[in-house]
């Protein structure tokens, strides 16, 4: 399973990239706005570090404006993926962009039917938001399971990005289901590394080594 980092913070991206496990980055207008920098500066800093897919989201809501904005975003780099919301205009924009070979990540997916339509429109990536479903007492990972079944049934050339990840178990469940990608907040990614028995074992090894030296 590929791991993307869900952030626009360049320091967190650099740190996660140094671990050798990062495959890409996803951003959105909210994440970019938190950085307190010019949008172009944020994007160029990210693209200097990440050579895999980097998702940048349009803010337009009308499909022709989405397409125009998407083409401007693609000028930043060939690895830029365009995030498009799952709306009627979003589907039109996805079809137009994918027809020109521009990869699209359809975001804010909350049902299998939405995922099916996005895949048919040519989406390269489908982003079901599992955490937000969990927040309203729905089972987000069931949505991922259903989408994966649909993709497999019809051989769509698309990858499922498990998004709105809240905790390490979301990542583990995504991997067990066979999701192609999980896009993970930095804090959750760090938690995946940690285990108390690892810490205890390392501490014990070091103490034994000190005893041996004495």
Supply the range of the domain harboring residue 167: 2-213
Label residue 107 left, alpha or beta by phi (over 0 means left) and psi (-120 to 50 means alpha).
beta
Treating both helix axes as pointing N-terminal to C-terminal, what angle do 168-177 and 186-193 enclose, rounded to 10 degrees?
A: 80
pLDDT of residue 189: 97
pLDDT of residue 127: 98
Indicate if 213 belongs to the active site: no
pLDDT of residue 110: 98
For residue 17, the domain's CATH number is 3.20.20.70
pLDDT of residue 190: 97
Catalytic hit among 14, 34, 83, 211: 83
C-alpha separations of 39 from 16, 29, 110, 158, 161 in Å: 21, 9, 28, 28, 24
Distance of CA 106 to the CA centre of its chain: 11
Q: Count how many domains the chain has.
A: 1
pLDDT of residue 206: 87
Whole-model pTM: value is 0.94
pLDDT of residue 95: 98
Residue 105's DSSP bridge partners are 83, 125
Per-residue confidence of the chain (214 residues) as pLDDT tens digits?
999 999 999 999 999 999 999 999 999 999 999 999 999 999 999 999 999 999 999 999 999 999 999 999 999 999 999 999 999 999 999 999 999 999 999 999 999 999 999 999 999 999 999 999 999 999 999 999 999 999 999 999 999 999 999 999 999 999 999 999 999 999 999 999 999 999 899 888 888 888 887 7
pLDDT of residue 208: 81
């Amino acid at each position: 399973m590929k791991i993307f980092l869900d952030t626009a913070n360049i320091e967190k991206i650099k740190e996660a990239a140094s671990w050798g496990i990062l495959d890409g980055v996803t951003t959105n207008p909210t994440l970019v706005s938190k950085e307190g920098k010019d949008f172009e500066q944020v994007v160029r800093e990210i693209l200097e570090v990440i050579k895999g897919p980097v998702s940048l989201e349009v803010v337009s809501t009308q499909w022709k404006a989405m397409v125009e904005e998407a083409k401007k975003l693609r000028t930043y780099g060939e690895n830029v993926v365009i995030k498009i919301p799952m709306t009627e205009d979003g589907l039109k924009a996805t079809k137009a962009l994918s027809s020109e070979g521009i990869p699209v990540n359809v975001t804010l997916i909350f049902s299998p039917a939405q995922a099916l339509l996005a895949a048919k429109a040519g989406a390269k990536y489908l982003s079901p938001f599992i955490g937000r479903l969990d927040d309203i007492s729905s089972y987000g990972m069931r949505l991922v399971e259903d989408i994966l079944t649909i993709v497999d049934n019809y051989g769509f050339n698309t990858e499922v990005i498990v998004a709105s990840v809240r905790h390490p178990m979301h990542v583990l469940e995504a991997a067990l289901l066979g999701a192609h990608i999980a896009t993970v907040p930095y804090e959750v990614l760090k938690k995946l590394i940690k285990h108390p028995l690892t810490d205890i074992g390392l501490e014990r090894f070091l103490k034994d080594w000190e005893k041996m030296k004495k």
